[in-house]
Amino acid sequence: MFPLWIAFMVAIALVAVGVWVYRRYFRKVSGREDRYTPERILTPEQVAMLDYLRDTFPDQVVLPNVPLQSMLSVRRSADIQRAKERLKTQKVDFVVCDADGRAVFAFDVEQYHLSDAKAKAHQVKIKNRILKTAGVRFLFLKNSIHRMPSPNDFRRQLDLAALPRPKAQEGESSGESVRQQLESKFSEFDTLVYPSTGFKESEVMGLSGLMELGGARPDRKTEHERQIEAVRRRA
């Protein structure tokens, strides 16, 4: 016969196991005792840039950190599933939408990569090509609003850089795919609107390339830069 204390310990162990099983599999947790902590969605630099872009586009919606799969869909592809997978691997730092809620401009903040620079540059080229086929102009922003032109100057140059919207076409002409036709039209459009620039449409447009559109000289100071210089002189 087992000693009394052994039976007592076995009973306690069985009760403990029963309580654990109940809590693990049968008890419904209401969640009222749960507490949460807010995490940072945007860095202070991103918040400042978001405010700057909203000043640039006061009548339009500006969104941060948008995946390409949330703003684009595959219009046509030889491999639709693979085209969708490309959208899943890309995102942009900021997007400006038109009145219909569709993207018009997409921006990434300028960064200098010390590792895997070649691979990251390749991914940026793919992103630019994808956005271009959708009629969304992709540009690089400086990593500080203090290095950006005034919102008015920036908006004026962006109006020159806007891409035409792609139009759905019925069928394909012989020897030329819809994508080739679309890119050909983009090329003709850009040549007509800003023939004086040396910017190549195969490249990602940066701020310096943008500010040269419409005949602006690259060494011409923006309104924002002139204001900063005036403050410095008064100081």
pLDDT by residue (tens digit) across 116-170?
778 888 889 999 999 999 999 999 999 889 999 999 999 998 888 888 877 755 4
The residue that leads in pLDDT, 5 or 134, is 134
The residue that leads in pLDDT, 79 or 117, is 79
In a domain, 13, yes or no: no
pLDDT at 136: 94
**Euclidean distance between CA atoms 5 and 3, whole angstroms:** 6
Task: Give percent helix, percent strand, percent coil of the chain, each to the nearest 5.
Answer: 50, 10, 40
pLDDT at 164: 83
Asked if the model's pLDDT at residue 59 lies above 70, the reply is yes
Asked if the model's pLDDT at residue 67 lies above 90, the reply is yes
In a domain, 171, yes or no: no
The residue that leads in pLDDT, 101 or 173, is 101
**Euclidean distance between CA atoms 13 and 7, whole angstroms:** 10
In a domain, 67, yes or no: yes
Number of domains composing the chain: 1
Give residue 79's identity as a one-letter amino acid code.
Answer: D
pLDDT at 34: 87
186-212, pLDDT tens digit by residue? Answer: 444 444 443 444 445 556 777 777 777
In a domain, 39, yes or no: no
**Euclidean distance between CA atoms 48 and 175, whole angstroms:** 49
Asked if the model's pLDDT at residue 99 lies above 80, the reply is yes
Rg (Cα) of the chain, in Å, rounded?
Answer: 28
Asked if the model's pLDDT at residue 66 lies above 70, the reply is yes
pLDDT at 224: 46
Q: Predicted confidence band at 173 (pLDDT cuts at 50, 70, 90)?
A: very low
In a domain, 35, yes or no: no
CB 104 within 8 A of CB 137: yes
Tokens 């679309």, residue located: 182
In a domain, 229, yes or no: yes
Q: Residue range 4-27: average pLDDT?
A: 75
In a domain, 187, yes or no: yes
In a domain, 9, yes or no: no
Question: SS3 of 64, please?
Answer: strand
Range of the domain at 153: 44-166+177-234
